[in-house]
Chain A
Amino acid sequence: MHSHDHHPHDHTASADKSDAPPSYYEIMETAVRELLIEKKLITAGEIRRQIEVLDSRTPALGAKIVARAWVDPEFRACLLANGRTACEEFGITFYDDTQLIVLENTDKIHNLIVCTLCSCYPRPVLGLPPDWYKAKPYRSRAVKEPRNVLAEFGTAIPEDVEIRVSDSTAMVRYLVLPQRPVGTEDFTEEQLAALVTRDAMIGVIKVNLPNEITV
């Protein structure tokens, strides 16, 4: 297959890259950053600190939110009413101006999130999006043929379940609140969080109960 969103560079060959000369674009990044620092518009410390912030955001945060929503109906209601304030009260800071809308999956509705125009994503709670989320096939097809897209992720949604696709914007981001799997009634909040994956919070899969997990 040929994907226009991918580059001939082989990203898996990163082991050799430490010795390789920097690419044209890497030099451009260094140049833009150093020029802006020289002009005192930004500082090196701000870049370093933001890299730490980016590193601290992973799908584990989103999983904690989902698990709390499953065990605490009051939190769930707050989360669905205003995703951002509920997450902030839960202790997750938002480092940008985005709003967060949490979409609840039910027996009748399955939610899927996408950003058709670019790569908007609930970064404060999930970290950075996977490459496929930013690539043309997902962005093009999720809004047009979501059932086929879900099938490519191995997810079959019954015909009588409505699929709702939410298209993210610069200011409004979405997070899917997946359904709690049957058979987890005795799980602790921590055990529940361990079941929740990034892809389930994008909506391309359901949260499954692995057979290995025993309570």
Chain B
Amino acid sequence: MSQTEQLLKKLPNDIGGSPADRIEQTDHVLEPWEKRCHALADVLDFHKILNTEEKRRGVEALGSEMVGKLTYYERWIAAFAFILFQKGILTPNDLERKMTEIQARYSITTRQ
């Protein structure tokens, strides 16, 4: 099978059966923002805005480099943003403006 054929047959999330490292029994207590991110996903699901399969595909659509380098909930929030853009619920401008506003809020707090 050619290199490119393999890419089509095994999308980035489809890793069952691929060679991989020894299992390290890792775990961590979720950071507060990670738990909020999880709750956000569930609430969006309750409102039929974003379901589990869309979430999984959204993570896959980030591409293998981001899937490899971002942590689990970093992938989630990035995927949610893209999906919400695609659905026309948020715009990139909305998000940029709000992130700047929040960053400023924290900067003020830090200076005090």
> Which A residues contact B (CB, under 8 angstroms)?
1-7, 9, 11-12, 14, 17, 21-23, 25-36, 39, 41-42, 46-47, 50-51, 53-54, 95-96, 114, 116-120, 128, 130-132, 134-144, 149, 152-153, 167, 170-171
Q: Mark B12-47, 1 if CB is under 8 A from A, else 0.
A: 011111111111111111110101111110111111
Q: Are A128 and B16 in contact (CB under 8 A)?
A: no
A45 to chain B, nearest CB (A): 10
In the complex the two chains form, what is the Cα distance from A41 to B47 in whole Å? 8
Q: Are B26 and A132 in contact (CB under 8 A)?
A: yes
Known contacts A30-B102, A50-B39, A131-B27; A139/B15 CB under 8 A: yes
In the complex the two chains form, what is the Cα distance from A114 to B20 in whole Å? 15
Q: Are B24 and A137 in contact (CB under 8 A)?
A: yes
Q: Are A7 and B84 in contact (CB under 8 A)?
A: no
Of B38, B46, B84, which contacts A128 at CB under 8 A?
B38
Q: Are A42 and B26 in contact (CB under 8 A)?
A: no
Of B30, B31, B36, B68, which contacts A17 at CB under 8 A?
B31
Q: Are A152 and B102 in contact (CB under 8 A)?
A: no
Q: Are A130 and B26 in contact (CB under 8 A)?
A: yes
B67 to chain A, nearest CB (A): 8
Known contacts A22-B106, A118-B59; A42/B43 CB under 8 A: yes
In the complex the two chains form, what is the Cα distance from A34 to B51 in whole Å? 20
| Tally of chain B residues near chain A (CB < 8 A) | 62
Known contacts A9-B71, A22-B106, A136-B15; A1/B36 CB under 8 A: no
Q: Are B24 and A170 in contact (CB under 8 A)?
A: no
In the complex the two chains form, what is the Cα distance from A25 to B40 in whole Å? 14
Q: Are A141 and B23 in contact (CB under 8 A)?
A: yes
CB closest residue in chain A, given B51: A170
Sample of 12 further A-B pairs with CB below 8 A, known A30-B102, A33-B36, A131-B28: A7-B70, A23-B33, A28-B81, A31-B95, A35-B94, A47-B36, A50-B42, A96-B45, A96-B52, A114-B16, A130-B25, A149-B23
Which B residues from 39 to 71 make CB contacts under 8 A with A?
39-40, 42-47, 49, 51-53, 56, 59, 67-71
In the complex the two chains form, what is the Cα distance from A120 to B49 in whole Å? 19
A-B contact pairs, 26 of them (CB 8 A): A1-B24, A4-B67, A4-B68, A7-B69, A14-B29, A27-B103, A36-B84, A41-B47, A41-B49, A42-B44, A54-B42, A95-B42, A96-B42, A96-B45, A130-B25, A131-B72, A132-B23, A135-B23, A136-B20, A136-B21, A137-B21, A138-B23, A139-B20, A140-B19, A141-B20, A141-B23
In the complex the two chains form, what is the Cα distance from A146 to B43 in whole Å? 35
In the complex the two chains form, what is the Cα distance from A7 to B15 in whole Å? 18
In the complex the two chains form, what is the Cα distance from A3 to B51 in whole Å? 28
